[in-house]
Protein backbone atom coordinates (compact mmCIF):
# COMPACT_ATOMS: atom_id res chain seq x y z
CA UNK A 1 0.00 0.00 0.00
CA UNK A 2 1.14 3.54 -0.72
CA UNK A 3 1.21 4.75 2.88
CA UNK A 4 3.36 1.73 3.78
CA UNK A 5 6.04 2.84 1.35
CA UNK A 6 6.16 6.35 2.85
CA UNK A 7 6.14 4.95 6.37
CA UNK A 8 9.18 2.82 5.56
CA UNK A 9 11.16 5.84 4.38
CA UNK A 10 10.03 7.79 7.41
CA UNK A 11 11.05 4.98 9.76
CA UNK A 12 14.50 4.77 8.15
CA UNK A 13 14.94 8.53 8.53
CA UNK A 14 13.95 8.34 12.21
CA UNK A 15 16.36 5.45 12.85
CA UNK A 16 19.24 7.26 11.16
CA UNK A 17 18.28 10.39 13.08
CA UNK A 18 18.44 8.55 16.41
CA UNK A 19 21.83 7.18 15.42
CA UNK A 20 23.00 10.74 14.73
CA UNK A 21 21.72 11.83 18.15
CA UNK A 22 23.73 9.07 19.84
CA UNK A 23 26.91 9.79 17.90
CA UNK A 24 26.41 13.54 18.31
CA UNK A 25 26.08 13.14 22.06
CA UNK A 26 29.21 11.00 22.14
CA UNK A 27 31.04 13.65 20.09
CA UNK A 28 29.93 16.38 22.51
CA UNK A 29 31.32 14.38 25.43
CA UNK A 30 34.54 13.29 23.74
CA UNK A 31 35.37 16.85 22.62
CA UNK A 32 34.31 18.49 25.91
CA UNK A 33 31.82 20.64 24.00
CA UNK A 34 28.98 20.30 26.49
CA UNK A 35 29.31 23.92 27.59
CA UNK A 36 29.71 25.27 24.06
CA UNK A 37 26.45 27.19 24.46
CA UNK A 38 27.18 28.18 28.06
CA UNK A 39 24.53 27.78 30.77
CA UNK A 40 21.82 28.45 28.20
CA UNK A 41 19.07 26.13 26.98
CA UNK A 42 17.30 25.95 24.57
CA UNK A 43 19.05 29.11 23.31
CA UNK A 44 22.80 29.16 22.75
CA UNK A 45 24.86 31.80 24.53
CA UNK A 46 21.83 34.06 24.82
CA UNK A 47 20.75 33.80 21.17
CA UNK A 48 18.45 31.45 19.31
CA UNK A 49 21.21 31.10 16.72
CA UNK A 50 24.76 31.58 18.12
CA UNK A 51 26.54 34.72 16.94
CA UNK A 52 30.05 33.47 17.59
CA UNK A 53 30.85 30.08 16.10
CA UNK A 54 33.67 28.12 17.71
CA UNK A 55 34.28 24.39 17.37
CA UNK A 56 32.61 23.72 20.73
CA UNK A 57 29.60 25.91 19.86
CA UNK A 58 29.21 24.22 16.46
CA UNK A 59 29.29 20.71 17.94
CA UNK A 60 26.90 21.46 20.83
CA UNK A 61 24.48 23.58 18.77
CA UNK A 62 24.40 21.03 15.92
CA UNK A 63 23.61 18.30 18.42
CA UNK A 64 20.70 20.32 19.77
CA UNK A 65 19.34 21.04 16.27
CA UNK A 66 19.54 17.36 15.27
CA UNK A 67 17.87 16.29 18.52
CA UNK A 68 15.02 18.77 17.98
CA UNK A 69 14.47 17.77 14.36
CA UNK A 70 14.56 14.03 15.10
CA UNK A 71 12.15 14.51 18.02
CA UNK A 72 9.51 15.72 15.55
CA UNK A 73 10.26 12.75 13.26
CA UNK A 74 9.80 10.29 16.10
CA UNK A 75 6.63 12.00 17.31
CA UNK A 76 5.12 11.68 13.84
CA UNK A 77 6.33 8.08 13.48
CA UNK A 78 4.89 7.23 16.89
CA UNK A 79 1.41 8.55 16.04
CA UNK A 80 1.53 7.11 12.52
CA UNK A 81 2.59 3.61 13.56
CA UNK A 82 0.15 3.66 16.49
CA UNK A 83 -2.77 4.35 14.13
CA UNK A 84 -1.73 2.09 11.25
CA UNK A 85 0.02 -0.79 13.03
CA UNK A 86 -1.61 -0.63 16.45
CA UNK A 87 -3.00 -4.15 15.96
CA UNK A 88 0.57 -5.52 16.33
CA UNK A 89 0.93 -5.80 20.07
CA UNK A 90 4.53 -4.54 20.36
CA UNK A 91 3.95 -1.38 18.30
CA UNK A 92 2.24 0.74 20.96
CA UNK A 93 4.80 -0.22 23.59
CA UNK A 94 7.75 0.52 21.29
CA UNK A 95 6.21 3.83 20.18
CA UNK A 96 5.82 4.93 23.80
CA UNK A 97 9.37 3.84 24.70
CA UNK A 98 10.89 5.66 21.72
CA UNK A 99 9.21 8.97 22.54
CA UNK A 100 9.49 8.74 26.33
CA UNK A 101 13.21 8.00 26.44
CA UNK A 102 14.00 10.54 23.73
CA UNK A 103 12.35 13.23 25.87
CA UNK A 104 14.12 11.88 28.97
CA UNK A 105 17.57 12.13 27.38
CA UNK A 106 16.82 15.66 26.15
CA UNK A 107 15.79 16.74 29.65
CA UNK A 108 18.91 15.23 31.21
CA UNK A 109 21.02 17.08 28.66
CA UNK A 110 19.18 20.32 29.41
CA UNK A 111 19.59 19.81 33.18
CA UNK A 112 23.32 19.32 32.72
CA UNK A 113 23.63 22.56 30.80
CA UNK A 114 21.50 24.61 33.21
CA UNK A 115 22.58 23.23 36.58
CA UNK A 116 25.30 20.63 36.09
CA UNK A 117 25.12 17.02 37.25
CA UNK A 118 27.38 14.36 38.71
CA UNK A 119 29.34 11.97 36.51
CA UNK A 120 27.28 8.95 37.59
CA UNK A 121 24.05 10.67 36.48
CA UNK A 122 25.54 11.93 33.23
CA UNK A 123 26.68 8.41 32.38
CA UNK A 124 22.99 7.48 32.10
CA UNK A 125 22.50 9.95 29.25
CA UNK A 126 23.93 7.71 26.51
CA UNK A 127 22.09 4.67 27.85
CA UNK A 128 18.73 6.44 27.87
CA UNK A 129 19.25 7.55 24.27
CA UNK A 130 20.18 3.95 23.46
CA UNK A 131 16.80 2.67 24.64
CA UNK A 132 15.03 5.19 22.42
CA UNK A 133 17.20 4.14 19.46
CA UNK A 134 16.45 0.46 20.06
CA UNK A 135 12.70 1.16 20.21
CA UNK A 136 12.81 3.11 16.92
CA UNK A 137 14.94 0.39 15.30
CA UNK A 138 12.49 -2.35 16.33
CA UNK A 139 9.57 -0.26 15.05
CA UNK A 140 11.40 0.08 11.74
CA UNK A 141 12.00 -3.67 11.53
CA UNK A 142 8.29 -4.29 12.18
CA UNK A 143 7.32 -1.76 9.51
CA UNK A 144 9.64 -3.50 7.03
CA UNK A 145 8.05 -6.84 7.99
CA UNK A 146 11.41 -8.39 8.76
CA UNK A 147 9.67 -11.14 10.73
CA UNK A 148 7.96 -12.47 7.62
CA UNK A 149 11.01 -12.11 5.39
CA UNK A 150 13.27 -14.11 7.69
CA UNK A 151 10.61 -16.45 9.11
CA UNK A 152 11.12 -14.78 12.48
CA UNK A 153 7.42 -15.16 13.17
CA UNK A 154 7.98 -18.94 13.30
CA UNK A 155 10.93 -19.13 15.70
CA UNK A 156 10.95 -21.53 18.62
CA UNK A 157 13.56 -20.67 21.25
CA UNK A 158 14.66 -23.10 23.95
CA UNK A 159 15.03 -22.21 27.62
CA UNK A 160 18.85 -22.07 27.53
CA UNK A 161 18.91 -19.51 24.74
CA UNK A 162 16.05 -17.59 26.36
CA UNK A 163 17.92 -17.19 29.64
CA UNK A 164 21.15 -16.14 27.96
CA UNK A 165 19.39 -13.72 25.61
CA UNK A 166 17.71 -11.90 28.49
CA UNK A 167 20.83 -12.00 30.64
CA UNK A 168 23.29 -10.71 28.04
CA UNK A 169 20.91 -7.93 26.93
CA UNK A 170 20.52 -6.63 30.47
CA UNK A 171 24.26 -7.01 31.03
CA UNK A 172 25.05 -5.11 27.81
CA UNK A 173 23.36 -2.08 29.35
CA UNK A 174 25.80 -2.30 32.28
CA UNK A 175 28.68 -2.40 29.79
CA UNK A 176 27.28 0.72 28.11
CA UNK A 177 27.02 2.48 31.47
CA UNK A 178 30.61 1.65 32.47
CA UNK A 179 31.82 2.92 29.08
CA UNK A 180 29.92 6.18 29.51
CA UNK A 181 31.33 6.48 33.03
CA UNK A 182 34.86 6.19 31.61
CA UNK A 183 34.16 9.19 29.38
CA UNK A 184 32.41 11.32 31.98
CA UNK A 185 35.04 10.76 34.68
CA UNK A 186 37.84 11.58 32.19
CA UNK A 187 39.34 8.13 32.74
CA UNK A 188 39.76 7.34 29.03
CA UNK A 189 43.54 7.70 28.98
CA UNK A 190 44.35 6.87 32.59
CA UNK A 191 45.67 3.47 31.48
CA UNK A 192 48.34 3.78 28.77
CA UNK A 193 48.47 0.08 27.84
CA UNK A 194 46.12 -2.69 26.73
CA UNK A 195 44.78 -5.17 27.86
CA UNK A 196 46.20 -4.32 31.29
CA UNK A 197 46.39 -0.81 32.67
CA UNK A 198 50.18 -1.11 32.68
CA UNK A 199 51.50 -4.24 30.99
CA UNK A 200 54.85 -3.95 32.77
CA UNK A 201 53.35 -3.63 36.24
CA UNK A 202 50.70 -6.27 36.84
CA UNK A 203 48.52 -5.51 39.82
CA UNK A 204 45.24 -4.05 41.01
CA UNK A 205 44.18 -0.55 39.88
CA UNK A 206 45.84 2.12 41.99
CA UNK A 207 43.07 4.77 42.05
CA UNK A 208 39.41 5.44 41.29
CA UNK A 209 40.04 6.34 37.63
CA UNK A 210 41.98 3.15 36.96
CA UNK A 211 39.19 1.14 38.62
CA UNK A 212 36.64 2.80 36.30
CA UNK A 213 38.75 2.11 33.20
CA UNK A 214 39.67 -1.46 34.10
CA UNK A 215 36.14 -2.18 35.31
CA UNK A 216 34.86 -1.28 31.85
CA UNK A 217 37.51 -3.43 30.16
CA UNK A 218 36.59 -6.39 32.34
CA UNK A 219 32.88 -5.86 31.61
CA UNK A 220 33.59 -5.65 27.86
CA UNK A 221 35.73 -8.79 27.97
CA UNK A 222 32.97 -10.69 29.77
CA UNK A 223 30.29 -9.73 27.26
CA UNK A 224 32.59 -10.90 24.44
CA UNK A 225 32.98 -14.31 26.10
CA UNK A 226 29.25 -14.50 26.83
CA UNK A 227 28.20 -13.71 23.24
CA UNK A 228 30.83 -16.14 21.95
CA UNK A 229 29.22 -18.88 24.05
CA UNK A 230 25.72 -17.95 22.82
CA UNK A 231 26.87 -17.86 19.19
CA UNK A 232 28.39 -21.35 19.50
CA UNK A 233 25.14 -22.57 21.07
CA UNK A 234 23.09 -21.01 18.24
CA UNK A 235 25.36 -22.50 15.56
CA UNK A 236 24.98 -25.96 17.12
CA UNK A 237 21.25 -25.94 17.81
CA UNK A 238 19.55 -23.30 15.62
CA UNK A 239 20.99 -23.83 12.15
CA UNK A 240 17.48 -24.34 10.76
CA UNK A 241 16.26 -21.03 12.20
CA UNK A 242 18.33 -18.59 10.20
CA UNK A 243 17.25 -15.42 12.01
CA UNK A 244 18.71 -16.86 15.23
CA UNK A 245 21.67 -18.53 13.55
CA UNK A 246 22.81 -15.46 11.65
CA UNK A 247 21.65 -13.03 14.31
CA UNK A 248 24.05 -14.40 16.91
CA UNK A 249 26.88 -14.72 14.39
CA UNK A 250 26.43 -11.04 13.55
CA UNK A 251 26.31 -10.22 17.28
CA UNK A 252 29.65 -12.03 17.72
CA UNK A 253 31.18 -10.10 14.81
CA UNK A 254 29.98 -6.77 16.22
CA UNK A 255 31.20 -7.46 19.76
CA UNK A 256 34.58 -8.60 18.38
CA UNK A 257 34.90 -5.35 16.44
CA UNK A 258 33.82 -3.51 19.58
CA UNK A 259 36.69 -5.00 21.58
CA UNK A 260 39.17 -4.16 18.81
CA UNK A 261 37.82 -0.62 18.56
CA UNK A 262 38.19 -0.18 22.32
CA UNK A 263 41.79 -1.33 22.11
CA UNK A 264 42.43 1.01 19.18
CA UNK A 265 40.95 3.97 21.09
CA UNK A 266 43.41 3.41 23.94
CA UNK A 267 46.47 2.79 21.76
CA UNK A 268 45.67 5.75 19.47
CA UNK A 269 45.32 7.99 22.53
CA UNK A 270 41.62 8.68 21.99
CA UNK A 271 41.43 9.15 18.23
CA UNK A 272 38.03 10.76 17.74
CA UNK A 273 36.99 8.67 14.71
CA UNK A 274 37.87 5.43 16.47
CA UNK A 275 36.04 6.62 19.58
CA UNK A 276 32.90 7.33 17.53
CA UNK A 277 33.22 3.92 15.87
CA UNK A 278 33.37 2.42 19.36
CA UNK A 279 30.08 4.16 20.24
CA UNK A 280 28.49 3.12 16.93
CA UNK A 281 29.31 -0.55 17.43
CA UNK A 282 27.82 -0.78 20.93
CA UNK A 283 24.72 1.00 19.62
CA UNK A 284 24.31 -1.57 16.85
CA UNK A 285 24.97 -4.43 19.25
CA UNK A 286 22.37 -3.22 21.74
CA UNK A 287 19.82 -2.77 18.95
CA UNK A 288 20.45 -6.34 17.74
CA UNK A 289 20.16 -7.75 21.26
CA UNK A 290 16.85 -5.94 21.73
CA UNK A 291 15.62 -7.55 18.50
CA UNK A 292 16.58 -10.92 19.98
CA UNK A 293 14.38 -10.04 22.97
CA UNK A 294 11.54 -9.31 20.54
CA UNK A 295 12.06 -12.79 19.07
CA UNK A 296 11.47 -14.27 22.53
CA UNK A 297 7.99 -12.75 22.38
CA UNK A 298 7.48 -14.30 18.95
CA UNK A 299 8.63 -17.66 20.31
CA UNK A 300 6.14 -17.59 23.18
CA UNK A 301 3.31 -16.86 20.75
CA UNK A 302 4.40 -19.72 18.48
CA UNK A 303 4.65 -22.18 21.36
CA UNK A 304 1.13 -21.28 22.51
CA UNK A 305 -0.29 -21.80 19.02
CA UNK A 306 1.40 -25.20 18.57
Residues making up the annotated binding site are 216, 278
Q: Where are the beta strands (DSSP E) in the chain?
A: none
Q: Distance between CA 203 and CA 201 in Å, rounded?
A: 6
C-alpha triplet 102, 103, 105: angle, nearest 5°: 65
Phi, psi of 89 (to 5 degrees): -65, -30
Helix, strand or coil, per DSSP, at residue 260: helix
- Decide if 60 is catalytic: yes
Report the C-alpha dihedral over residues 207, 210, 212, 215, rounded to 10 degrees: -120
Q: Do the beta carbons of residue 38 and residue 114 sit within 8 Å?
A: no
Q: Do the beta carbons of residue 130 and residue 176 sit within 8 Å?
A: yes
Binding residues for heme: 216, 278
Q: Where are the beta strands (DSSP E) in 78-152?
A: none
Selection from 57, 17, 19 nearest residue 277 by Cα: 19
Catalytic, out of 52, 56, 60, 240:
60
Q: Do the beta carbons of residue 178 and residue 187 sit within 8 Å?
A: no
- What are the catalytic residues? 60
Amino acid sequence: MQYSKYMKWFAVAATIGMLLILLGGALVTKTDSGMGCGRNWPDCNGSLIPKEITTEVLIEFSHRVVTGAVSFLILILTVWSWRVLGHIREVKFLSFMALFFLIAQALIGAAQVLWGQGDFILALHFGISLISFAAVLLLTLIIFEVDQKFDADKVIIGNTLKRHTIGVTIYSYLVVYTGALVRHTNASLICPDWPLCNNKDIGLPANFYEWVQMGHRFAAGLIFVWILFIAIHAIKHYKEQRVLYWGWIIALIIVSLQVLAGMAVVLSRLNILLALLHSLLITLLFGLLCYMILLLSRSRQNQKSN
